[in-house]
Amino acid sequence: MIRRTIRDIAAMIGADHATDLPETSVQGVCTDTRTVTPGALFVPIRGPRFNGHHYAADALAKGAAAALWEKGEPGRPDHPAVIEVDDALAALQRLAREYRRQIGATVIGITGSNGKTSTKDMLAALLSTTFRTHKTNGNLNNHLGVPLTLLGMEENTEMAVVEMGMSALGEIAALATIAEPDAAIITSVSEVHLGDLGTRERIVQAKLEIVGPLRPGGLLAYCGDYPQLEEEIGRSGFRGKRIAYGVQPSNELRPLHWRADDSGFAFVLDEREPDKFAAPIHGRHQMVNALGAIAVARHFGVPEQSIREGLYGAALSGLRNEVVRVGECLILNDAYKSNPASVRAALQTLYDFRKPKRKIAVLGDMVELGEESEQLHRDLGRELDPGRIDLVVTVGASAARMGEEAVPRFGADRVAICADKEQAIARLLRETLDDCVVLLKGSRVLGLESIEQALRDKGAVGR
């Protein structure tokens, strides 16, 4: 984490009267008094319903070495280590960019509609075999999370893998300007942002904002299975090194032979190198994410054997294709978020499971899809395969449209349309769940992971 004097920090953010401040050492940055650590810099962040300035005095009393304070804000603490700035968030972002420059670590930025966090986790695992590597914690990928990620780097960090999310045009450009990446990955483009951006064209445009701030000679790795992304990159005028990865034959990096099932995935990239790349990670889409991680790891010189070892040992963040056994039941917990592309990927993962005799899909609302929401839910309902799913359970008013479309092909006895997760739990507990795999997939707001806990509490045995 950042370790500088108060004067150094004031100079890094361009604050007035930096030389008037004490030389006290600062270690780390925090924005929440509940997690303040001795010696930290407290940054007061404003939100729709809170003002961090109200907690600055408390942070200093708890041991923070210094605090930022916006000019004109009343109630300034009577403390010698208060650094006045015009905008606390902007100052935090400037501090992060300057620290990134001083450290000199190689930064890889990752964006995409789906797969950002899993790709980040896999890439960090590959790079860690060879370099001192830092990565985004969880999904701290926004205007606040990215600077905090950069400021969390140790001085000797060699590689930093930084996830970048967005909900509007201009946000990725702003984040990439702070991080100044040496390489970038675009994992996917899908309907997840339709509610915010309105059109698929604007979604692609937003993701490509990561390219502009790439450092000279930087690498762009992207999933070439999305034709619209490929076309827009070609029109963008990008002249740096780029590599397309994916399963389609047109990609430069693609698996020649592969499998994805309940034991994970494995694939071969070169007939002359028959040793497989493999991981006990579920989902064909995760294999594609692994290709993006491999492309960047190779670019920075990670040896092939180290890539294989790092990939096999990679651990993904929670609620992303987690497989949990409860008695004789397997629960495929993919409840972190949901959109049409990620639902299709989750369903394919369910279909690929070979061993359990019965398969149940618990599908919740997909939120923030804008005016196309009902149609997108209905489209997915029509795609559900009655030959590969034994029971469909929908959760929420929007997901009910999936169930309505599924009933004519499944029959009413194989589709349960539930208003909420409590109804879904009650329906599942009436099933005999032995030798069964249950997929949990829904937008984060639904909290479908609580279904897993309910099944655990009942031992996943139907009544």
The tens digit of pLDDT for each residue in 223-268 reads 999 999 988 998 887 888 999 999 999 999 999 999 999 889 999 9
CA 276 – CA 245 distance, rounded (Å): 17
- The pLDDT value recorded for residue 462 is 46
CA 264 – CA 262 distance, rounded (Å): 6
CA 44 – CA 27 distance, rounded (Å): 17
Own/partner pairs, 71-78, CB within 8 angstroms, 24+ separation:
none
Give the E-state strand segments of 314-380 in sequence order.
322-326, 329-333, 358-364
- The pLDDT value recorded for residue 356 is 74
Which tokens go with 264?
Answer: 């994970």
Q: Which CATH class is domain 104-312?
A: alpha beta
Binding residues for ATP: 112-118
CATH 3.40.1390.10 residue ranges in the chain? 3-86
- The pLDDT value recorded for residue 18 is 81
Q: What is the maximum alpha-carbon separation in the chain?
A: 76
CA 59 – CA 62 distance, rounded (Å): 5
Binding residues: 112-118
Half-sphere exposure of 151 (CA within 13 A, CB side): 27
Q: pLDDT for 149-202, tens place per residue?
A: 999 999 999 999 999 999 889 999 999 999 999 999 999 998 776 777 778 888
Read off the DSSP letter of residue 71. T
Contact (CB, 8 A) for 338 and 442: yes
CA 77 – CA 102 distance, rounded (Å): 31
Helices (H) then strands (E): counts for the chain: 16, 23
CATH superfamily assigned to domain 3-86: MurE/MurF, N-terminal domain (3.40.1390.10)
pTM given for the model? 0.91
CATH 3.40.1190.10 residue ranges in the chain? 104-312
List per-block mean pLDDT (blocks of 10 residues) for the chain, which spans 463 residues: 96 89 94 94 93 96 96 93 96 98 97 94 98 93 97 98 93 97 95 76 92 93 93 86 96 95 92 87 95 98 97 86 85 91 94 88 93 95 97 97 97 96 94 91 92 82 44
CATH superfamily assigned to domain 322-457: Mur ligase, C-terminal domain (3.90.190.20)
- The pLDDT value recorded for residue 460 is 56
